[in-house]
Structure 1
Amino acid sequence: MACRPQGVRFGAWAFVGLAALLGGLACDRPSAAAPQETPPVAVVNGEPIPASVVQRELLRLRREAGSAPVHTEAELETLRRELLDDRIDRLLLLQLAKERGIEAEPGEVERLLLRLRADYPGDTFEEFLADEGIPLSQLKAELRERVLIQRLLQREVRARVVVTDDEIQAYYDSHPEEFKVPEQVHARQIVVKTREEAEALRTELRKRHGPDFAEVARSRSIAPEAAQGGDLGWFERGVMPPPFDVCFDLPVGRVSEVVESPYGYHLFQVLERRKARVLSLDEARDRIEAKLRREKEKRAQERYVALLRETAKIEINEAVLGEIR
């Protein structure tokens, strides 16, 4: 079974999804014909990192690359070191979490396991684990490690990140293009197969006491949103196919001329219109704060791990690393 993506560097790994974590375990399945383990590729505060861990990560990345060109020697060297650095970062965080006495809450690992299982109908989750040779105990251990690291980062890094009002204001003032909202319309449509049917419906709909547009859409339209009375929701120019742009020149309530497209013959009606505008600071505040917080957390986590590295005893076996291909 093809392996699923799993983060390469620390920043990506720290937020890797549960499905990706499960895919990574599948990639870690040892081969029945695997040779005896070589010396560890690194030792971190006395704890070894097996060369096979980095080897399997490299194999996973190559599988994902498919028919892409083989890495040059220089690229391979960079990739090997990045994969090893990621494992070192992870181990340092796990060691510190255990040193701090951080524990998972009762049932927390089981809840994560249930979230994973929910993506597999019936007994296919157990079948997947069996096919990939993943013991349930190993999966639970990996989930527990994930919980410990995330709890450590939340307590000692993310909880200390603060985004100030001045920073939000400065970002808003310096990125005006991000907060421009283009003109939008809320419209509905009827789509039929022939021009003759569309013209006849248009004539009826434009009568002073003609039928309700939504009811006609429900009974006659072949478009997917017919059951919703042809409601297309809000959209801006250029988001929908070109024939829909007629809505931006159509007065509210007016039924359009017949518009031909590859889908059939359309009649449009605009329900509401929003002029182009700029979001106010209050409207944009939550979005800006979330963006700045993500950026600050990422930088803070990188600094945190860098400090751990400064005080850690890390021994890398360059000869073993160089043999990983």
Structure 2
Amino acid sequence: MKSIANSRVLPKQQLMLMFILILLSLSGCENKSMDKGVSQVNSPVVAVVSGKEIHDIDIDYEILSMPESMRHLMQDEEARAKILHVMIQREAVAQKAKAMGLDRDPLVQHRIHQAQNSVLIQSIRDWQQQDVAVFNDAQIQAYYDKHMDDFKIPEQIHVRHILLSDKQKALEVLKMLKRKPDSFSALAAQFSIDDSNKGRGGDLNWFARGTMVKPFEDVAFALSEKRRISQPVKTKFGWHIIEWLGKKEGNTPSVDDVKDEVTSILRKKALDTWIKQLMDEADISVLKAEYQIKK
């Protein structure tokens, strides 16, 4: 069969550990919140590592490169001090790598080039989405009206099942179920050969048509409040006894409900169009015939 958190405030020590781990692993991250035109010129030097200056604003940049949930550390002096010491460690290690000549290794140079490109690509995506791909309500409504079917939420049902290896075994379990209608979960845990869900009583959760194999799905969607338990139904996986637990009617959300989703779609389309235009205008030559893409 096809496969079918509560938030809390972290203690300060855990937050410190988290951002130190993030800093140690950072190698050019997305940064959407950095102010334009900000530079090191007027920012005081806070550390020097073998002649390399680290400015106070460099700490700001590190924090702006972290997840937004950690931006509050910008004003936390203890956090800034710890970040600085991680930056010092990274700078010292990087300088040692250069002194060893590792930056001249062709593979390392390729990785540096790729990392630089990744940062530049993300920067141009941010620029394109923030400064170019801005859509008004009329454009969002027009796209929604034209693609309304894409946003429809189909009818869904909630069922659980007991999967048996043969029909005779399925009939025996069905008899047990008829004697004790409330024993479905226990019988699934005891007899079902579907290890992916027997531990939760065979529960397959909510799903729409097209999710499960057709013989199973046809029977499952034919069940209802009046006829909750199926006869054994055969699929390529074995024999199923299905119990109907509930149904959600299909619906179409309003444009306001999917406004963010539509905006994301329009932004992606605008970016794809922009990149295609860029590729069309670029001077590109593939010099080896075997690397030409066949159309």
Give the TM-score, by structure 1 length: 0.50
Distance in 1 of aligned mates of 2:219 and 2:256: 33
Residue 248 (1) aligns with residue 213 (2): no
1:183 to 135, 141, 155: 155
| Per-residue CA distance 1:21-65 (angstroms, 9 max, x = gap) | xxxxxxxxxxxxxxxxxxxxxxxxxxxxxxxxxxxxxxxxxxxxx
Note the C-alpha offset of 1:247. 0.9
User: What's 1:287 paired with?
Assistant: 261
Q: Give the residue type in structure 2 aligned to 1:272.
A: G
Indicate the residue corresponding to 1:278 in structure 2: 252
Q: How does 1:15-26 map to 2 (within 5 A)?
A: none
Aligned to 1:267: 241
Query: 2:178 is matched by which residue type in structure 1?
Result: R
Structure 2, gaps ≥5 residues long:
1-36, 41-57, 66-104, 290-295
1:221 partner amino acid = S
In structure 1, stretches of 5+ residues that fail to align are 1-99, 110-132
**Secondary structure class of the residue paired with 1:201:** helix
Match of 2:220, SS? Answer: helix
The CA distance in 2 between the partners of 1:153 and 1:277, in whole Å, is 34
AA aligned to 2:244 is V
Higher relative contact order (CA 8 A, sep 6+): 1
TM-score, normalised to structure 2, is 0.55
| Contact in 2 for aligned 1:184/1:275 (Cα 8 Å) | yes
Alignment of structure 1 residues 42-191 onto 2, 5 Å: 135-155=107-127, 157-160=128-131, 161-191=133-163
Question: Compared with structure 1, are the counterparts of its residues 136 and 251 closer, same or farther at alpha carbon in structure 2 (3 Å cutoff)?
Answer: same
Q: Please give the alpha-carbon distance, in whole angstroms, between the structure 2 residues aligned to 1:134 and 1:233.
A: 52
- How much has 1:188 moved relative to structure 2? 0.9
Q: Which amino acid aligns with 1:298?
A: D
Instruction: Give the superposed CA RMSD.
Output: 3.6
Partner SS state of residue 135, structure 1: helix
Q: 1:277 to 1:149 in 2, by over 3 A?
A: closer
| CA distance in structure 2 between the partners assigned to 1:306 and 1:323 by the alignment | 17
Shift in Å at residue 301 of structure 1? Answer: 4.7
For residues 97-134 of structure 1, give each alpha carbon's deviation from its aligned partner in whole angstroms, at most 9, with x where no partner exists.
Answer: xxx9999955999xxxxxxxxxxxxxxxxxxxxxxx85
Cα offset, 1:281, TM superposition:
2.1
Q: Shift in Å at residue 248 of structure 1?
A: 0.8
Question: 1:211, CA displacement in angstroms?
Answer: 4.2
Identity of aligned residues (%): 28
Does the aligned pair in 2 maintain the 1:217–1:226 contact within 8 Å? Answer: yes
* Distance (whole Å) between structure 2 residues aligned to residue 322 and residue 291 of structure 1: 32
Distance, in Å, in 1 between the alignment partners of 2:63 and 2:112 is 11
- Residues 106 and 182 of structure 1: CA distance in aligned 2, closer, same or farther (over 3 Å): closer
After superposition, the C-alpha distances for 1:131-178 in whole angstroms (9 at most, x for unaligned) are xx85324312321232134224423x2211212221111112122322
Following TM superposition, by how much is the alpha carbon of 1:203 offset from its aligned partner in structure 2, in angstroms?
Answer: 2.1
C-alpha displacement at 1:192, in angstroms?
Answer: 0.9
Choose from 151, 160, 165 the match for 1:193: 165
Q: Report if aligned partners of 1:102, 1:151 keep a CA contact under 8 Å in 2.
A: no
Q: 1:145 to 1:260 in 2, by over 3 A?
A: closer
Instruction: Report the residue type matching 1:220 in the other structure.
Output: F
Residues 102 and 148, structure 1, Cα contact 8 Å, conserved in 2? no
What is aligned with 2:202? 230
AA aligned to 2:202 is: G
SS of the residue 2:257 aligns to: helix
1:200-239 alignment to 2 at 5 Å?
200-207=172-179, 209-223=180-194, 224-239=196-211
How many angstroms does 1:291 deviate by? Answer: 0.7
Choose 295-304 or 138-147, whichever is displaced more.
295-304
Shift of 1:274: 1.4
Q: Could you say if the C-alpha distance between residues 166 and 108 of structure 1 is closer, same or farther in structure 2, counting changes exceeding 3 Å? A: closer
Amino acid of the structure 2 residue aligned with 1:263: F
Asked whether the equivalents of residues 159 and 220 of structure 2 are also in contact (C-alpha less than 8 Å), the reply is yes
DSSP 3-state at the match of 2:212 = coil
Q: Distance in 2 between matches of 1:180 and 1:174?
A: 13
